[in-house]
Chain A
Amino acid sequence: MVPKDLSYTNEHEWIRVEGGIGTVGITDHAQAALGDITFVELPPAGAAFAKGDELCAIESAKAAASIYAPAGGTIAAVNEALEDDPGRINSDCYGGGWICRLELSDPAEVGSLMDAAAYERFLAQEEH
């Protein structure tokens, strides 16, 4: 399950860009690998991140993972629904399980990420 309209990192984050705002989440592959997500440490609103910086951390029942910024920007919004219901990332990782929105400092940075076809090839390689 790899939506066509998103861009992907090799750390299994996705980003959707609309009008200079990038919505960020983790992919279906990432949520399945983590298992039941029990806690999301959301980034503070207004904080600035460069591409590749650690945005926040996610804990699952048996693991923990860092989430990295797919592109540089400032936190414009966070998905507060995840505070009480982090399992939304498991059940709807590309929709209600979004993590945060970044006001992008340079939307062109997204152009260096993988498109859906490239990410599918990347996943196929990782399995070997």
Chain B
Amino acid sequence: MPRETALYDRHVALGGRLVEFGGWTLPVQYEGVLSEHRRCRSSAVVFDTSHMGQFLFRGPEAARQLGRIGTQDAEALAVGRCRYGFLLNEGAGVLDDTILMRLGPEELLLVVNAGTAEGDLRWITGHLGPGVEMENRLADGWGKIDLQGPAAARALGPLVDVDLRALGYFGVSRAVCCGRRCVLSRTGYTGELGYEIMAPGEELGTIFDRLLADEAVGPAGLGARDSLRLEMGYPLYGHELSTEHDPIEADLAGFARPEREFIGAARLRELAGGPPTRKLVAFRAGSRRRANPRDAILAEGRTVGAVTSGAFSPSLEVSIGMGYVELASADAGRGLVVDTGRAELPVVVAEKPLYGGGTCRTKDL
């Protein structure tokens, strides 16, 4: 049986269409994927992301040891900052992509994907030594909501005790929101200005309700979350990332720099000695027809890769996607063909992000 988040009753009351995702029951949409997507780009939406894992690490050894397990340099990460990175296996295959948040000198929070959370937990505990305590906050009933969109700071500002102008992109802070203690990070998965709010489930419901009481904010489901992240060229674990792929070919080598020692670093140094055989690219199609995961990508009639994600882009009004292709076919501007099984869909390799209007880095709050 898939698990329900603390906001389940609210999703039902809001008319959410519920689906199973990563072992959880979550809304794929409320009013509609396209309107929720556009609302995020033009105003603000809130997503229930309580399915994602939250692991809290405390102790004098926490930063040093975490920096040897994941690709983020936890010791160099300043208090109040977040960093994207990976858990890799010894072969540099991606076990998960994560965000590491430094809450204090001896306190770090790792946010991980839902479907991989249990495996991550075993992997991390298997590599931790003395001097670190780990709390699985998901098991303790914590949840998370993501408020995303250019109006996010205006909607959240009056509800929190921190000055949002002082919380820059990838900043994190403890906060009080609607009288509830929470962790607040200026991160997200949409390319827009936004915040992730982590709190115990029952407290999260109050915050969710208060945000939705603002007419600038609407609820959004997994459907819009997927098309928003794809317009930004952000990877989704299980699609663009898996143990079959390493960060170099995923075009994310900057988030796994093997000058330091961490699990998989030795293999990354070997891989960095030559060009990758394939590379993750984003593409836009010449029509609205969708490319689907595992569709073959062809160049001059020969298979050179496969699609990992595809969606209709509400911002660009064409079909977009991502996929791994041979290096010789990976340059921006290269014309390729996706074989959808029903039709040959012409696509063009494009620079990431596919949508350039995102407000995530704005300083104008």
Contacts and interface: CB of A to CB of B under 8 A. Distances in A.
Interface of A: 35-36, 38-39, 41, 57, 59-62, 64, 86-87
13 contacts: A35-B32, A36-B32, A36-B35, A38-B34, A38-B290, A38-B312, A41-B289, A59-B290, A61-B33, A62-B28, A62-B29, A62-B33, A87-B34
A22 to B, nearest CB: 24
B118 to A, nearest CB: 26
Given A61-B223, A61-B312, A62-B28, A36 B33 contact: yes
Report, nearest first, the 4 A-B pairs whose CB atoms are least far apart.
A61-B33, A38-B312, A39-B288, A36-B34
Interface in B19-57: 28-29, 32-35
A62 B30 CA distance: 13
Contacts of B288: 38-39, 59, 86
Given A59-B312, A62-B223, A39 B287 contact: yes
Contact of B311 (A57, A61, A64, A86): A61
B21 to A, nearest CB: 11
B292 to A, nearest CB: 8
B227 interface: yes
B139 interface: no
A64 B29 CA distance: 16
A72 B342 CA distance: 22
B195 to A, nearest CB: 25
Interface in B299-357: 311-312, 319, 342-343
Nearest to B313: A38
Contacts of B289: 39, 41, 59
B32 A39 contact: no
A39 B319 contact: yes
Most B CB within 10 A of own CB, among A36, A39, A64: A36
A38 B319 CA distance: 9
Contact of B29 (A35, A39, A57, A87): A35
Nearest to B37: A61
Contacts of A61: 29, 32-34, 223, 227, 311-312
A87 to B, nearest CB: 8
Contacts of A35: 17, 29, 32-33, 223
